[in-house]
Homo-oligomer: A and B are copies of this chain.
Amino acid sequence: MNILIVYAHPEPQSMNGAMYQTAIAHLEAAGHHVKTSDLYSMQFDPVSSRNNFSTVYDPAFFKPQLEEMHATEVGGFADKINMEQEKVEWCDLMIWQFPLWWFSIPAILKGWVDRVFAMGRFYKNGHLYETGLFGSKKALLSLTTGGPPENYLRDGLNGDLEGILRPVHRGIFEFTGFSVLQPHVIYGPARQSPQELSAVLKNWEHRLEHIFEEQPITIGAY
């Protein structure tokens, strides 16, 4: 199968870096085709602007969605954006590997979505949610947290993780038609021993072995 891994962490030696490298090695060894977007290494610029486009629809007033629809019609996305769009269009499964920062994805990953997930090309009226353009694709969040698991339960310090991830699961993945796989969460890797971290990577490998047999979870409306 075709798998895109989008990775957003500034430190290659981090747990996120290890999870990323493990996924590439294991999925390729299993015969899958893997493409990557290592956003920090690419020095991906996350600021959505006219730089998303090689074309201009309205030079007097920048309305991102109108420019996106125009660029979809005329092939007017900037090369760097088009390359990312093609990776998403190509994949059967998209994995995001990132640390949870401020109850959300790091800005470099948010901006990858802001710029790459363009109206017209990735979604449009009549093609949202159940009728989304990416209805044949799956998506999986693989993330680390700062705190231990009990901090991410209902009535725990931060509240339940499901609610924290919901804007991404529902508002990005299901919005564009992706089926959502159970998120893969490593809690507080900074506090774990090398032995524990090694077991974490083994668990990730085991999960990836059967990833295409998994049933999606349903996020649904709020």
* A residues adjacent to B (C-beta < 8 A): 10-11, 13-14, 40, 46-50, 61-65, 101-108, 110-111, 113-114, 117, 128-129, 146, 154-160, 163-164, 166-168, 170-172, 175, 190, 221-222
Contact = CB atoms under 8 A, between A and B. Distances in A.
A157 B128 contact: yes
Contacts of A156: 221
Nearest to A129: B157
Contact of A104 (B13, B129, B167): B167
Contacts of A10: 48-50, 62, 64
Contact of A171 (B104, B114, B154, B171): B104
A172 B50 CA distance: 29
A102 B222 contact: no
Contact of A63 (B11, B108, B155, B157): B11
Nearest to A221: B159
